[in-house]
Amino acid sequence: MELILKSLVPLTFVIFIGWIAGVRKIVDSKHSNTFATYVMSFSFPCLLFIKTATSKMEDLINYRFVIGFTLGLMGMYVLTFVLNRYLHRRSLSESCQNSFVCSFPDMAFMGIPIFMVIFGESSLISIVIGNIVTSLIMIPLTVSILEMSQPNLLKTNQSKLILKVFKKPLVLAPVFGIIVSAIGVKIPGLALDSLKLIGSTTSGVSLFALGLIMSADKVSLNKSVLLNIAKKNLLQPLIMWGIVIAFGISGDWAKEAILLCAMPPAIMTTMFAVKYDVLKVESSSSTVLGTVVALFTMAVIMHLMGIGA
């Protein structure tokens, strides 16, 4: 229990500080985009590059984990899309956006600080893999569907948008890191120290930014939001638990896969909702309330997996 508290209490504290800063106007919530850009374009990519470039290839290419985790993420995406489209009779764009909210875990903002405490630096590999799956499969698929649903005057070139996703530092950093690891290049000590200095700021800044973003989002509690939270925080980790057993994934790899899927919706899902003007309040409410609920549901899931026992 002490380990669970060590991973969740500091996280809650920093998110709360960010939220207070936004509510009290100490830091204008509009600056949350700047903090998010810093994390997603600078500090987190540096952290991902260091970890992949200094890891052994056999640790980076765990086929069972890669396939199983991909099924856990995309399986939830497809399941939610089908339910929304054919059972709830939602539009194509609403079905897509809801699927995005219910299947894209907040690996960057919440995953890093929690995993660093519980599993150590080696666990960042699972976050790297998750980031690659969402960046190369889930995000381009979501962009394509939402773009197809836009009025003709608002449509943009899909190939350019998808290429833009592939060119993001979050995607390129681990790819270059894997290449460096594969060819056995040794990174100079000064370069490593420089990258580690900026990479080490990821956890604190990302959690502060999360609190700042939460302070500005409108929150509405209704049936759809509660259902989204139940799907994301409870159903997805249960699905991943079944996949872990079916694929014979064991040890920390299994725990990391389940715990990543237990995390609340990523902030990026709300950004998509705003950009494409679809389910904006539902998406932001699911993210904000889902983050609060996740602090408790993740603690229960950690206990069930024997973390901190």
Both tokens of 131, joined, read: 């980031």
Instruction: Look at residue 109 and tell me if it is in a domain.
Output: yes
Q: Which of 253, 245, 239 is nearest to 75 (CA)?
A: 239
Mean pLDDT of 8-37: 87
C-alpha 53/C-alpha 126 separation (Å) is 14
Write the burial class of residue 71 (CB in 10 Å: 0-12 exposed, 13-18 middle, 19+ buried): middle
Q: Which residues pair with 251 in a beta bridge?
A: none
Residue 153 has a pLDDT of 46
Instruction: Look at residue 227 and tell me if it is in a domain.
Output: yes
pLDDT at 61 over 90: no
What residues make up the domain containing 243? 2-304
pLDDT at 78 over 90: yes
pLDDT at 156 over 60: no
**Domains held by the chain: number:** 1
Tell me, letter by letter, the H, E, C secondary structure of the chain.
CHHHHHHHHHHHHHHHHHHHHHHCCCCCHHHHHHHHHHHHHHHHHHHHHHHHHCCCHHHHCCHHHHHHHHHHHHHHHHHHHHHHHHHCCCCHHHHHHHHHHHHCECHHHHHHHHHHHHCCHHHHHHHHHHHHHHHHHHHHHHHHHHHHCCCHHHCCCHHHHHHHHHCCHHHHHHHHHHHHHHHCCCCCHHHHHHHHHHHCCHHHHHHHHHHHHHHHCCCCCCHHHHHHHHHHHHHHHHHHHHHHHHHCCCHHHHHHHHHHHCCCECHHHHHHHHHHCCCHHHHHHHHHHHHHHHHHHHHHHHHHCCCCC
**Are the beta carbons of 236 and 103 closer than 8 angstroms?**
yes
For 211, other C-beta atoms within 10 Å of its C-beta total 26
Instruction: Look at residue 253 and tell me if it is in a domain.
Output: yes
Lowest mean pLDDT across 58-62, 79-83, 145-149: 58-62
Q: 15: domain CATH number?
A: 1.20.1530.20
Instruction: Look at residue 16 and tell me if it is in a domain.
Output: yes
pLDDT at 298 over 70: yes
What does the pLDDT look like over 182-217, one tens digit per residue? Answer: 898 889 999 999 999 998 888 788 788 878 877 877
**Are the beta carbons of 102 and 64 closer than 8 angstroms?**
no
C-alpha 297/C-alpha 151 separation (Å) is 40
C-alpha 156/C-alpha 7 separation (Å) is 42
What does the pLDDT look like over 81-97, one tens digit per residue? Answer: 999 999 999 999 999 99
pTM recorded for the entire structure: 0.83
What does the pLDDT look like over 101-127, one tens digit per residue? Answer: 999 999 877 888 888 888 887 788 888
Owner of token pair 């609190």: 211
Residue 54 has a pLDDT of 86
Within 8 A by CB and 6+ apart from 301, the residues are 237, 258, 259, 262
pLDDT at 290 over 90: yes
Both tokens of 64, joined, read: 């069972």
Instruction: Look at residue 67 and tell me if it is in a domain.
Output: yes
pLDDT at 247 over 80: yes
Instruction: Look at residue 309 and tell me if it is in a domain.
Output: no
**Are the beta carbons of 63 and 248 closer than 8 angstroms?**
no
